Amino acid sequence: MVTDTEGYMHLIQYLSQHLGLFEDPTSERIDDTVMELFESQLAAQIIMVCGQNPALSFSQRNQVIREVDAIVYDLEEIFANVANERATQTQSVFISEFSGLIKNLFDQQVALTLSEKIA
């Protein structure tokens, strides 16, 4: 649905261009870890996707959940060295922005899926 799209590949490239944000050991840290922020932000975004699209079938919602699991797996691989480190405020802002971009991908794919269902 999303992880096999060109848009997702561009997001991974965007993420890789900003990995330097996660290498600053001197910044003040917040309570959440890097992965906790990714997981909570992605969960909130996906809840919005499903809430905004009540026409999604149970099967389609499960597919969205499987895709999010794959994205979290990718993020765990990318951030293996810092996943359990407490995040900085700058990282938190970036993670929020990145999660919003993931939501945009899902919005596009869900709209496409639902339009194909109607046609």
More confident residue, 54 or 24: 54
Of 34, 11, 10, 8, the residue nearest 90 (C-alpha): 34
Q: Which domain holds residue 97?
A: 6-118
CA distance 42 to 69: 10
Residue 12 inside a domain? The answer is: yes
Q: Report which residue type is found at 65.
A: I
For residue 24, what pLDDT is reported? Answer: 75
Examine residue 71 and state whether it is found in any structural domain, yes or no.
yes
Name the domain count of the chain.
1
Top-confidence residue, 113 or 76: 76
What global pTM score does this model have? 0.91
Q: What is the pLDDT of residue 114?
A: 87
Q: Confirm whether 1 is domain-assigned.
A: no
User: Quick one: pLDDT band at residue 109, thresholds 50, 70, 90?
Assistant: very high
Q: Is residue 54 part of a domain?
A: yes
Average pLDDT across the chain, whole number: 93
